[in-house]
Structure 1
Amino acid sequence: MNQKRLIVGMSGASGAPYALVLLEECLRQGHEVHLVVTEAAWRVLKEEHGWDVSRREKQFEERFGHLPGRLVWHPLRDIGASIASGSFRTDGMVIIPCSMGTLAKVAAGLSTNLLERTADVMLKERRPLVIVPRETPLSQIHLENMLKLARCGATIVPAMPAFYHRPRSVDDMVRFVAGKVLDLLSVDHALYRRWEGGQ
């Protein structure tokens, strides 16, 4: 298996389960994952999963520490981290979920924290950047920012589950979205049943 070095950013939009499923699959396969979590994303983890956010990275260690992959934790304010430089080679980045605030800052080229700086690096180095926005309805500002990023080379993957694979649970729908992101990062998986044509 071709081992990859990937970056996962979590920002403060509802949808933490998408990120956790994606992290678990990447680490289960033995990939190296660099993780950045915004302050608002910690709040989402508390609300959606009941995490004790005072323990921060230890929560990730307890959930994923038994898996063979390598999880590298980066504080949000560490602008000198390895992933902040284009000379640090990676296979791509995903921001999952991506808030409209984070999306706007990346679209504007702002780098006020490590997550935004790393996304900027992906764009300038022309490496895969997948953005999973989680908001509804979308305003014209949101749509214009997504279009701007798409024109700059990012791939926009709204958190929209499909139903042709006949999901039986919320977990099935979460796995579908995570799987679509992994497809774009060229990570093999079996998170959902693929369409093989109707009869």
Structure 2
Amino acid sequence: MKAFGCKQSNSDHTLFEKHKKWKVTTLIVYVDDMVLTRDDPCETKLLHDYLAVKFEMKDLGQLKYFLEIEIARSARGISLSQRKYVLDLLTETGMLACKPVETTIEMNHRLGNFPNHARIDKGSYQRLVRRLIYLSHTRPDIAYVISVVSQFMHAPGEKHMNAVYKILRYLKGTPGKGLLFSKDGVFNVKGYTDAD
């Protein structure tokens, strides 16, 4: 990629970028898959031809699914979700038939480290929370509650697991929720925080 004129990212060594007269071509590699995005079709064709000489490749067309993330395009923009990931998670945990809830955590929750609380299987808790952490990449609505339950991965108790099950019940009601990158021609990043 460097021989083609791409610069390797310092933060992610599988990410390569090439800037040329206000145009950007970006390529990311994961094991034997590559995702290529650009705003210059000519540069994409050149890169594709260059890589085809070096590697045996198959162009799969528009990106639809990558690393458990579903990508959908519409007139409104590009949508990223992990619907299948959520449904698989609910199935694996036996929560697919659970009753959904509208919130991820109790208001004014009292989760903490309690010396006498009923212990649970730490490995199961950690695996489940790690899966939820990965889900939060496309689900910022669960980011706060994931940060809360992940604080207790060293010594989880029954109350902590119940909080995780509540997250799963919330996900049951919102499996296809995700991110929409709107096609309105204006690029604005909005961030919200609790200043407390």
TM-score normalised by length of structure 1: 0.20
Between Structure 1 and Structure 2, the one with more helix by share is: 1
TM-score (norm 2): 0.20
Rg larger for: 2
